[in-house]
Amino acid sequence: MSSMGEDEVSSFFESSPPLKKMEDILQKLNGFIEHNSSGGRRRIVCVTSGGTTVPLEQRCVRNIDNFSSGNRGAASTENFVKAGYAVVFLYRSGTCQPYCRSLPDDPFLECFQFPDNTNIQVHASHVEAVKMAVMDQQAAVAEARLLKLPFTTIYEYLQMLRLIATAFKDVGPCSMFYLAAAVSDFYVPWNSMTEHKIESGSGPLDIRLAQVPKMLSILRTNWAPQAFCISFKLETDSKILIDKATKALGKYKVHAVVANELSTRKEEVVVVSSSGNVVVRRDSDKPEAIVEDNLIRLIVDRHSTYIKESHT
């Protein structure tokens, strides 16, 4: 990585608005890591999920958003917990939550009733979804297998990712980054941003966006060089997808790139790595099966191999 890359990263962080509640986040994070390592749960993964926003105004009304439902990250988190991992779930506020994927869009309108004005009941059709959302989620959080940390802007996301990577350093090869979040490629540098709301009413609006420095290189080389690292590549054009994923693999030196196309992403993904490309599909004979069941199984296997090789 060129020193120019590092300069860009430093200047990005220096000009970022400072992270709120940083002490609180750090305390939760360190407590979570300590609890798991002393409890013998050796493996820990940071799953990032949902899209980041890029403010166009300092007192933000307008922003550019990278759309992502967060479904992939939430489903993967459940599978990592099931596989025995401690999971730091770094998610965009308001996106899909682990154990809540089967709830209807408007759960309070559709799932519950108070038949006698005092005791709440769950409609029979939603009992399993609500039990999962409440019991499984609470158990995972209460037993410190799941720590949920929300972000909204690209500034919050990258500062929190840096905190987590730094905190994971001592875990070494047993730590993993599973970077499913849709991170903005372009942003308006905070210092060049207008303070107030952009005025409308005088013709077209031209916006110039700068590239967000590629933090993945820094994560790999500086922040957490021993961690196993999986990144994602989403494209809408299947013709360029594998090529772009392969280039990302070489450029950022991650251990695998999960390539997915927008329209088929719930059916199949391709895991691109130096040992070749593997197509991972949903078990289509089981209606409740999701592609993440097989994807996480493969990733966990690869992580096991990586840990073994790191110790020899």
Task: Answer whether 83's CB lies under 8 Å from 108's CB.
Answer: no
Give the contacts of 200 (CB within 8 A, at least 6 positions apart): none
Give the C-alpha separation, 256 to 239, whole Å: 20
Task: Answer whether 86's CB lies under 8 Å from 32's CB.
Answer: yes
Give the contacts of 19 (CB within 8 A, at least 6 positions apart): 25, 155, 156, 159, 160, 163
Query: Is the CB of 13 or the CB of 186 nearer to a second copy?
Result: 186
Smallest distance, Å, CB 86 to a second copy? Answer: 17
Smallest distance, Å, CB 51 to a second copy? Answer: 8
Burial label for 108, CB within 10 Å (0-12, 13-18, 19+), is exposed
Smallest distance, Å, CB 27 to a second copy? Answer: 19
Q: Cα 155 from chain centroid?
A: 15
Query: Is the CB of 150 or the CB of 172 nearer to a second copy?
Result: 150
For a second copy, the binding residues (CB under 8 A) are 53, 56-57, 59-67, 93-94, 97, 99-100, 103, 105-109, 112-114, 117, 119-122, 130-131, 133-135, 137-138, 141, 148, 150, 182, 185-186, 195-197, 200-201, 203-211, 234-237, 262-263
Give the C-alpha separation, 112 to 268, whole Å: 35
Give the C-alpha separation, 106 to 289, whole Å: 23
3-class DSSP state of 162: helix
Check residue 212 and report its DSSP letter: P
Smallest distance, Å, CB 246 to a second copy? Answer: 14
Smallest distance, Å, CB 226 to a second copy? Answer: 28
Give the C-alpha separation, 145 to 87, whole Å: 6
Smallest distance, Å, CB 59 to a second copy? Answer: 4
Smallest distance, Å, CB 302 to a second copy? Answer: 27
Query: Is the CB of 146 or the CB of 227 nearer to a second copy?
Result: 146
Query: Is the CB of 87 or the CB of 300 nearer to a second copy?
Result: 87
Give the C-alpha separation, 190 to 208, whole Å: 13
Query: Is the CB of 38 or the CB of 118 nearer to a second copy?
Result: 118
3-state SS record for 178-204: EECCECCCEECCHHHCECCCCCCCCCC
Query: Is the CB of 206 or the CB of 285 nearer to a second copy?
Result: 206
Query: Is the CB of 201 or the CB of 276 nearer to a second copy?
Result: 201
Query: Is the CB of 198 or the CB of 289 nearer to a second copy?
Result: 198
Smallest distance, Å, CB 66 to a second copy? Answer: 6
